Each structure stands twice: as structure tokens, then as C-alpha cells.
Amino acid sequence: MNHLINESSPYLLQHSHNPVHWFAWNQAAFDEANKRDKPILLSIGYSTCHWCHVMERESFEDEETAAFMNANFINIKLDREEFPELDKIYMEAVQYLQGHGGWPLNVFLLPDKRPFFGGTYYPPFRRHNMPSWLDVLNNIKDAWTSKRQLVIEQAEKIAELIQNGETTLIKDAISPELFSKYSHKDDITTAYIKLSAQFDKQNGGFGHAPKFPSFMALSGLLHHHFYYQDQLAVDMVKKSLDSMIFGGIYDHVGGGISRYATDEAWNIPHFEKMLYDNALFLETLGLAYQKNENDFYRETAAATLQFLEREMKDESGMFYAALDADSEGVEGKFYVWNYDELNSLNVSQADHLLAFYNVSSEGNWEHTNILHITESVESYAQRNNLNLSEWQETIREFKSTLLIKRGERIRPGLDNKIILSWNAMLIPAFLKWAAVDNGTAWSQNAIALFARLKKTFTLSGNQLARVCTNGKVRMMGNLDDYAYMIRAAIELHQFTGESDYLADAIKWTAIAQTEFVDPEDNLFFMTAENNSDVFVRVKELYDLSSASSNAVMMENLWLLGWIIDEDAYKEKAGNMMAAMWISVTKHPLSFSYWLKAGLRIVNDFRSIDLIGSDAEGFRRAYICHFFPNSIIKQASFHLHSVEGSHFQHTDSTYAIVCSEAACSNPLRTADELINALK
């Protein structure tokens, strides 16, 4: 056992019996480095990381390698999901040094936490032009011993690059005054053309293998279509979602989506399942369903919710972080199928089922089969003269049989951390489906989850924590924790009309503005001012696996400004958008959430007052539709001047829609409101 044995992170506990004398990230490790005058080896990963497991087996469990590490380094293991700010800092360092990054991330630091060298996975023996891990360790040891001044100078250069990293993104910032008068249509058109150029017309999605779902970009395309009525935007979303759901990245047996595909056609997943991916998947499906009521999306969403509740939900109602790609030390073993195993099942229409799911004796991945389809259930039934309802029932029974069969296998590892921001991402997704599919289970899930998160993660002073493991809350919340909880509270306020949610959003926004804002550029740091773990405070500006926390905060401020008539919030959001606009429109795939949220700012926006005894009926009608250019104001009564007359509360119910410049006449029915917004 080493120092990790008393930690609660599943990733750290995986390494607690390594012969490496691992420390967790704490002051004791840095004190030891100073005392012994040793460099620090910081190894960053997460519990469901396949190549992290590989390097552990090859190097960190090897006695000779461990002895060398223990003699020459202070070794620290870090769970990137607990410390995303540290992961970002040291990932940037490795990207500067190597031109790429990934996990495991192995970084060498001075005792003051500044990095001077790093890389990702290293094999135990030299191969494919890669040095061995022991080669790397020997070189670092020699440099530390005989070239210390060069090591320090390297650390200074890298620290400066990290410190100034964000300035390149905002060096062309438009002044807020100019931005408010700016014609944005040409920039938006250019950004849309650039995004379209990266679209994979054959398989959907963006770029090449390995291929990530890019849900923020797909959501942004649906918003683009709303404002500019470009059918190609909707077509790109449909092609992408259909291809993913047809492919092996979607779990046809148990529901849910894997983190990414290793091929361009989405058929070969990297099998780990992350909570945030499935939250974004559900929300994007809901937006697409709202645009075009597709039963395929509704069924996929229902299966994904069942997966989350069956395999990711803890007894308190919150959701775990991830499921591993590996089981029994083999990637994907839990999910793949042997041909003989499937062929021997006593199921009806077996030949059709194996053909439909593209099962063969040769297999499609390492002599096994990853289930995927190449056409819809309806298309296959029609092409093979099958009764559609009977064929659908056959498929349901087949999936149920396979789920039971799979349940007999040894399960992948579960990362049982509960991460606040990832859980909060689920709430807008649940509410979207509650609105469009009239599902009370969806809304009950959202309301109960928010209540549990608020109770569990609220600290003294209404500050938020980040992680809960085995009932123990740890670590101060980062910006993403605040941003996604604020967003969840806004969505719940819109869905229910209850003022408590709005009060929560305002309260957490005030803390974020006090603790996280950089006054020089109006953007937010990832960490609060009193965070002592980082040697430099950085900002999360790009979309990565989830949306930029700054972009989410910008949208939160904009929406809150309209809900409560607070011009300071709207001005702050506009300033943030102005700072980022040039970078956003130059690189739309990397800044998809900024672009999506920015469409609300650069196009006409409207607030809606609902007045009278049947205001709830208006609200229910409104939330069933996709109107990203409007928001319902807080539940209070306002006077409006319309054609010289004043309208105020009466026994009748009506809505008034206001822009910056004018308000509508009273709209007396929900249908009038919807038609006016259309």
C-alpha cells in the first residue's frame, strides 16, 4: 500500500497497491520534494481510462520501474475529474512541448508546481519511435542533476506560455460599444460555412477518427436554423444523430452512448460511458425531437434514461461519473458478442436479427461483434416483407434477452464519484423531454435531482462543493459547477414558474461574480480566488468534452438579465461575447456553445410576461416549443404601455411580449402567444 490507500477517488484507489510510493495532490508531497530536492512526477488520469490501465500494468506495477521512480522522484497521482483546473494547466504544458496531449498525462514539475517536461503514454520498451518509460525517467533524472538551470528556465518559459495562453484568444476583442453596433450576419455566415466544411457528409459528425459526438455543435446548428431557416443545418443534425444511433457508439442492448468512436462511421466505440456525454446526448435528442417529432429519438432517449437509472444512479438519486471501458482487464469485453453465442440463443427470427445487427462469424472487431445497424427498423421490415409491429416486438424481446445475458457477465468498473456539474447537466435534458414528450417521470427526475444536489453540495456561505464520494463531499466547486447549477435553476424556473429556483440562480451568480471574475477582461477563471492548488489561474474558453464554462456563464447572465430586468447582467454577457467574438467566428467547432449562445445576443431577443389566473396554461404551451430568442419573465405583474393604454392585472389571462424597443398588444390565448413568437 502507498499514500493513496486513504483516498476516496476510485482512480487513486486503483493505484493504491502499486509499488510506486504515490502521493495524492497535497502539501505533504511538495514538502517532501523540497526536503529531498527531487523533481515531481505528476501522473494524471481517470478511473475509466483504458491507456491509464495499460501503463499501470506495464510500468507502475513493475518493481524495477517503481524502485527507480521512488528513488529519483516524488510521485503524485491525480484524478483529472476531481481537479479539472490542474488537468487543464498541465495538459496545456504537454501540448506546448509535444504538440498533442491525452491520458495518461505524465508531467515533471519543479517543487513549486511549475512543469518543465511531459508526455502521455510511454511503453515499457522502446517501440514505434517512442522512448521507453525508463528512458524518459533516466533523461529527466540526468537533466535534474546536471542541467538544473536549463530545467528551471524551461519551467519559466512554459509557465509564461500558460499564463498568456488566453490572451491570444481575446487579443482581437471588439469593444463592447462597437460590438453593440456591429453587423454580425457576415461573421455568422462565415462561421457556419467553416463548420459545414468540417462536416462528414457520409457519416455525420465532424472531422475524422477518433470521432467525438460534438453535441454542442449539433445543438448550435438547430439554433442556427431557428434564426436563419437553413435546412442544411437541420439535415446535418439528423445525419449525425441517426448515424450515431445506428452505430456501435450507441449501446443497442442497454442504451446510452460511449465517449467516442475509433472509426469514422461510429461503429467501433471506445467503450467507456461518461455521465456528461449521456446528458448532452439526451438534451440534443430532445432539441431535435422538438424540431421534428421522431419516434426514433424518443425511444432512444427513453432507453438512455433507463440505462442511467439502472447503471448510474445511486441510492440518493444522484448519478455516478462513469463506467469503465474494460472488464476483466479487456477493453469492451462486457459489450461485445461472439457469433456462436448469439446464434445459439433461442429467439424467434434469429437469422433476421443477426442480419439486422450486422453480426457475422468473422466479427467486426477483434473477432467479436459490436452490434450496429445500417437501416431503420421500418426499412428492414419493408425490405424483407416483415410485419412491422411483429418485427418491432421481436427486436424488443431480443434486446431484453441480451440485456439479461449480459447481466451475467463481470461488469466494467464503476467510478462512483458524484460530480456536481455533470449531474447538473442532466436537469435541462430531463426538462426538455418533460416538455416535448409530456413525461412526468422526466420532470420528477429533474426536480428531485436538483433538490438533492443543492442539499448535498451546498457549503457554508451558499458556496458549492464539487465532488461527493461515498457520502463525503470534497473540494470547492469550480466555475463549471456554478455555471451548470445556475443553468439548471434557470431551466427549472422556466419550467415551473417557482421563484425559489430563480433565487438560487441569482445567489450563485453573485458568488461566481465575486469569486471567479477576472476584472481585466470580464471573463471567469476556472477556480475561485482562494484556490491554492494552482500556480496560475486559467480560464476554460474552448468547448472540450462539454461546453466552455465561460460560455455557459455568459448565457446564464444574458437570460437572467431578461428574466429579472437587470441591465447589468445583460451588459456583462454582451461584454463577454464581444471579447470572444473574433475567436468564436474563426473557429466555430472549438467554440460551438459560444456561437449558439451568441446568436441570442446578436439577434432580437424578447421577454414574455404571463399575467392572470391561467398563466400556467400559457407557460405549458410555451415550453413545448423551441423559441431560443425569448424567455419568460419572473412571476410578477408589470405595467406596459401599449398604444397609449396601460394594461395591468385583471381576472383575465394574457401575455405581453417585449423586445428592447417595444411591447406587443395583449395576447389573449396561448395559441396567440405561440403564433406571435413564430
Three-state DSSP string of 458-511: ECHHHCEEEEEECCEEEEECCHHHHHHHHHHHHHHHHHHCCHHHHHHHHHHHHH
For residue 412, what is the DSSP state? Answer: P
Question: In angstroms, rounded to a whole number, what is the distance separating the alpha carbons of residues 627 and 630?
Answer: 6
Nearest 5°: the CA angle 118, 122, 127 is: 130
In the CATH scheme, what is the code of domain 198-325? 1.50.10.20
Question: In angstroms, rounded to a whole number, what is the distance separating the alpha carbons of residues 592 and 580?
Answer: 12
Residues in the chain: 678
Cα dihedral sign for 226, 232, 233, 239? positive
CB 343 within 8 A of CB 402: no
Q: Specify the DSSP element, H or E, that contains 34.
A: helix 27-36
CB 296 within 8 A of CB 290: no
* Radius of gyration from C-alpha coordinates of the chain: 26
Question: In angstroms, rounded to a whole number, what is the distance separating the alpha carbons of residues 609 and 664?
Answer: 10
Give the closest residue to 436 by CA, choosing from 294, 302, 289: 289
Question: In angstroms, rounded to a whole number, what is the distance separating the alpha carbons of residues 292 and 678?
Answer: 16
- Residue identified by cell 508546481 is 113
pLDDT tens digits along 580-618: 999 999 999 999 999 999 999 999 999 999 998 888 999
Question: In angstroms, rounded to a whole number, what is the distance separating the alpha carbons of residues 656 and 642?
Answer: 10
120-148 mean pLDDT: 96
Superfamily of segment(s) 3-163: Glutaredoxin (3.40.30.10)
- Output the CA–CA distances (angstroms, integers) from residue 390 to 451, 475, 626, in the order listed: 42, 53, 35
637 confidence band (pLDDT: 50, 70, 90): very low
Written as nine digits, the cell of 671 is: 395559441
Question: In angstroms, rounded to a whole number, what is the distance separating the alpha carbons of residues 223 and 494?
Answer: 19
Cα dihedral sign for 36, 41, 46, 49? negative
Given this model, what pLDDT does residue 177 score?
78
Q: Say if residue 650's pLDDT is above 90.
A: no
Q: Say if residue 645's pLDDT is above 50.
A: no
CA 2 to the chain's CA centroid: 33
Strands 330-331 and 414-415: unpaired
Cis peptide before 19 (omega within 30 of 0): no
pLDDT tens digits along 38-80: 999 999 999 999 899 999 999 999 999 999 999 999 999 999 9
Given this model, what pLDDT does residue 103 score?
95
CB 438 within 8 A of CB 348: no
Phi, psi of 255 (to 5 degrees): 80, 165
pLDDT tens digits along 321-357: 999 999 998 999 999 999 999 999 988 899 999 999 9
Question: In angstroms, rounded to a whole number, what is the distance separating the alpha carbons of residues 85 and 162?
Answer: 12
pLDDT tens digits along 538-585: 999 999 889 999 999 999 999 999 999 999 999 999 999 999 999 999
430-446 mean pLDDT: 91
- Residue identified by cell 419493408 is 382
